[in-house]
Structure 1
Amino acid sequence: MPRVTEAHREARRAQIRAAALRAFSAKGYQRASISDVVAESGLSAGAIYGHYDGKQALFAAVAEEVLSRRSTEIDAAGGDGVPPSPIEVLTILTGGMTRDLEDGKVLVQLWAESTVDPVIHDVVQHVVVDLRNVLTAALQAWFGARPDVAPDGPDAAARLLLPVMLGLGQGFLVQRALLDDFDGARYLEAAAAVLPS
């Protein structure tokens, strides 16, 4: 019998994560089931459980993958040696989440679920810690290149701006999910007017 390579296993896990994201986006986290992931993926339930223990583990993997994409995009934006500005970081973050999460309602549902489900709460906390680290590194790099706007140093400036950046990102995603007349471009335009540049 041929040996299954790690590359093949990772390709299968990626297929399962993509199917889970589609199922969660279509039905919401609570209503989506492993059966929905099976239907979306074309794989058997055994194949899903062979890689993930259940829906919560699958959600954690999907969340980490979505965040990993944002981290890669933010890193790439500074690839020319010029760190992206706070508004560029926010635009990358919100643009990527918009691409990955369609209308974003599943994210709002998960944030709400994390207030009553301890397992989801722990997953959300882990993802937020990772997101903070990504944003902090990006802000430190930008403030490091712009000492004129960081009189107390890049670390202090990044720490001060971090909760605002998180709030602006969450505000974008919540309004996009809930408001029929939400204008993402105008939101980012307004954010650019208040963020340091």
Structure 2
Amino acid sequence: MPKVTDAHRAARRDEIIDAALRCFSERGIQRTSMADIIDASGLSAGAIYGHFAGKKELFAATAERVLSARTAEVEDLRHAGVVPSPGELMATVLRGIDREPFSHVIVQLWGDAAADPEIRALVQGVFARLRGMIEANLLAWAVANPDRIEGSAEAWARSVAPAVLGLGPGFLLQRAVIDDFDAEGYIRAVTSLLPR
């Protein structure tokens, strides 16, 4: 029997995550069963469970996908020699989230995290990584602009990161529940409010 490559396994995982996201979008997380995901993927139950132990792991994978994409976009700026200001950093993150076709599922995930300790632990891990990425970029900007902050760059970045991180959930929640939410207006306001 031929050996399954890492690329094939990664592609299969992405295929399963895509099916789960479609189901979560159509039915909501709570009303989506693993049987629904199996049907939507066109794969066998064994193929699904060979990659994910269950729906909670799929929740984490959806959040991880969104986080990884945002991290890559910010890293692209840094590789281009740009140290984004806090406003530019969040504009990049929020515009990326706005392009995600299934990002509204993340709001459902947070709701489930409030009631389910296992999901909360998964979400906390994703938030910790996101906060770390934001804090590292805030620190780089503060080091490059010491005249724009008070105190040490490290202390400033550490203290500001939770508030800056909070702008993302605020964006997602309003976009999910307010019919006439102006996403680009929100992003412009964030850019003008944060140091630049």
Tell me the TM-score normalized by structure 2. 0.93
Match of 1:36 in 2: 36
Measured after TM superposition, the shift of residue 139 of structure 1 is: 0.8
Contact 1:67 1:131 in 2 (8 A): yes
More deviation, 120-129/158-167: 158-167
Contact 1:25 1:101 in 2 (8 A): no
CA–CA separation in structure 2 for the residues paired with 1:195 and 1:5: 45
Structure 1 residues 23-80: Cα deviation after superposition (integer angstroms, max 9, x where no partner): 2222221111222222322211211011111101111122112211111111111122
Match of 1:167 in 2: 166
**Structure 1: which 5+ runs fail to align?**
none
Amino acid of the residue matched to residue 25 of structure 1? S
CA–CA separation in structure 2 for the residues paired with 1:138 and 1:55: 33
Contact 1:15 1:41 in 2 (8 A): yes
Match of 2:144 in 1: 145
CA–CA separation in structure 1 for the residues paired with 2:6 and 2:187: 41
Match of 1:47 in 2: 47
Contact 1:28 1:105 in 2 (8 A): no
More deviation, 27-36/121-130: 27-36
Is 1:3 paired with 2:17? no
Structure 1 residues 145-180: Cα deviation after superposition (integer angstroms, max 9, x where no partner): 111112312212212221221221111111000100
How many pairs align? Answer: 196
**Structure 2: which 5+ runs fail to align?**
none
Match of 1:64 in 2: 64
Structure 1 residues 128-159: Cα deviation after superposition (integer angstroms, max 9, x where no partner): 11111111111111111111112312212212
CA–CA separation in structure 1 for the residues paired with 2:90 and 2:110: 19
Contact 1:16 1:41 in 2 (8 A): yes
User: Structure 1 residues 105, 68: CA separation in 2 closer, same or farther (over 3 Å shift)?
Assistant: closer
Match of 1:12 in 2: 12
* Structure of higher RCO (CA pairs closer than 8 Å, 6+ residues apart): 2
Is 1:135 paired with 2:128? no
CA–CA separation in structure 2 for the residues paired with 1:185 and 1:70: 17
Instruction: Give structure 1 regions of 4+ aligned residues with deviation exceeding 4 angstroms.
Output: none
State the superposition RMSD in angstroms.
Answer: 1.5
Amino acid of the residue matched to residue 155 of structure 2? A
Contact 2:83 2:140 in 1 (8 A): yes
Measured after TM superposition, the shift of residue 101 of structure 1 is: 4.3
CA–CA separation in structure 1 for the residues paired with 2:158 and 2:22: 35
Contact 1:140 1:158 in 2 (8 A): yes
Tell me the TM-score normalized by structure 1. 0.92
CA–CA separation in structure 2 for the residues paired with 1:36 and 1:16: 11
Contact 2:17 2:58 in 1 (8 A): yes
More deviation, 72-81/92-101: 92-101
